Amino acid sequence: MNMNLEYYKIFYYVAKFGSFTGAAEELCISQPAVSQGIKLLETNLGSNLFIRTQKGVKLTPEGEVLYSYIARGYETILLGETKFKKMIDLENGEIRIGASDMTLQFYLLSFLEAFHMKYPGIKVTVTNAPTPETLEYLYEGKIDFGVVSAPFQAKAEINAREVKEIRDIFVAGSRFKNLRDKTLEYADLEKLPIICLERNTSTRRYIDEILKNNGVILQPEFELATSDMIVQFTLRNLGIGSVVRDFAEKFIRSGELFELKFKRQIPARNFCIITSDKNPVSTAARELLDMMK
């Protein structure tokens, strides 16, 4: 039996208010239109739904049973509409982001702080992972967008926008002060104890590729999970640290570390925001992306 859902909406409000007049006012339609809707519904269902009383109308036993189901369904629809409108108005909702330690700390965090101040009802989930894993999360629809470090290879569905330039450097502590004023060749790194990231990161692959193109293969003394750890190992003079400059900046300024100089500077690269053509972007995520332009 296919009945126009509008008739059930009329039925819901008549039952809720116990009055044809009350339902007409709530729905902004005429009382005769309400009466006609209920009459058509009763005809199609083959039973009376209301008993007329001096104060209005009262549900029949059959009407009570029907109302118990209609009320749950219609109120769920209303709740869905309310939540939908709140998401559109940025009162609530959720954003799922993929980011590495580096992109989170030196790019994304300041925008998240500003966004949270403006839209405190929006839940933000950040999945912390290297660039290759962040790309996989985006392919699988587990995140709305990612902030990654170039270079990387991605499927055709991925859109990338460069947002911040970064520089890879080698830094050293007091144990290697003899290198402070020297201009080195990349090949000199093969003779030094090197501390760098693990091989599954875009940063490590980038450095390895640059050096390989110049005939240099690194044999690291330490391979660590995070750049913060590399800086700490370097501060303790355990070797020469390979990091993005942002991580070592304050220690370079304080004089605790210094940057090694090379005849050819390692080319700069970028942080990129990545989205997928296959993943629709929510209103909240779009607002954050607009803030990050």
**What tens digit of pLDDT does each residue of 66-110 get?**
999 999 988 888 777 767 776 665 666 788 999 988 999 999 999
How many Å apart are CA 124 and CA 16, to the nearest integer? 38
- Alpha carbon of residue 126 to chain centroid: 6
The residue count of the chain comes to 293
**What Å distances lie between residue 195 and 30, 65, 211, 289, CA to CA?**
79, 72, 15, 35
**Average pLDDT rounded to a whole number, residues 245-268:** 96
Main-chain phi, psi angles of 127, to 5 degrees? -90, 115
Residue 107 is classified by DSSP as: I
For residue 253, give the 3-state DSSP assignment.
helix
> In this predicted model, which residue has the larger pLDDT, 280 or 208?
208
The pLDDT > 70 percentage for the chain reads: 96
CA neighbours closer than 13 Å in the CB half-sphere of residue 53: 10
Which tens digit of pLDDT belongs to each residue from 214-235?
999 999 999 999 999 999 999 9
Q: β-pairing, 168-172 with 258-259?
A: antiparallel
Which domains does the chain show, CATH number per domain? 5-88 (1.10.10.10), 93-165+271-291 (3.40.190.10), 168-267 (3.40.190.10)
Q: What is the pLDDT of residue 281?
A: 83
Is the Cβ–Cβ distance between 147 and 108 less than 8 Å?
A: yes
Residue 4 has pLDDT above 80, yes or no: no
171-199 burial: b if 16+ Cβ within 10 Å, else e: bbbeebeebeeeeeebebbeebbbbbbee
Main-chain phi, psi angles of 151, to 5 degrees? -85, 160
Neighbours of 80 (CB within 10 A): 10
Residue 158 has pLDDT above 70, yes or no: yes
Q: What is the pLDDT of residue 1?
A: 47
**Average pLDDT rounded to a whole number, residues 6-34:** 91
How many Å apart are CA 159 and CA 155, to the nearest integer? 9
Name which of 163, 169, 106, 98 is nearest 130 in CA terms: 98
**Average pLDDT rounded to a whole number, residues 164-168:** 96
CA quadruple 20, 25, 31, 34: dihedral sign: negative
**Average pLDDT rounded to a whole number, residues 235-246:** 97
Confidence of residue 121 (pLDDT cuts 50, 70, 90): confident
Q: In sequence order, what are the residues at sequence separation of 6 or more whose Cβ sits closer than 8 angstroms to the Cβ of residue 233?
A: 195, 222, 224, 239, 241
**What Å distances lie between residue 165 and 43, 107, 203, 208, 293, CA to CA?**
71, 10, 14, 19, 14
According to DSSP, the residues that pair with 126 across neighbouring strands are: 97
Q: What is the pLDDT of residue 147?
A: 96
Confidence of residue 169 (pLDDT cuts 50, 70, 90): very high
Q: What is the pLDDT of residue 82?
A: 66
The pLDDT > 90 percentage for the chain reads: 70
Plot region of 93 (φ>0 → left; ψ -120 to 50 → alpha; else → beta): left
How many Å apart are CA 42 and CA 51, to the nearest integer? 12
Which tens digit of pLDDT belongs to each residue from 35-61?
999 999 989 888 899 998 888 899 999
- Alpha helix (H) residue ranges in the chain: 5-17, 20-27, 31-45, 61-88, 101-103, 109-118, 131-139, 202-212, 227-235, 245-254, 283-291
Residue 148 has pLDDT above 50, yes or no: yes
> In this predicted model, which residue has the larger pLDDT, 262 or 199?
262
What is the pTM for the complete model shown? 0.69
Q: What is the pLDDT of the chain when averaged over all its residues? A: 91
**Average pLDDT rounded to a whole number, residues 2-10:** 80
The first and second tokens of residue 243, run together, are 């990091």
Position 80, amino acid? G
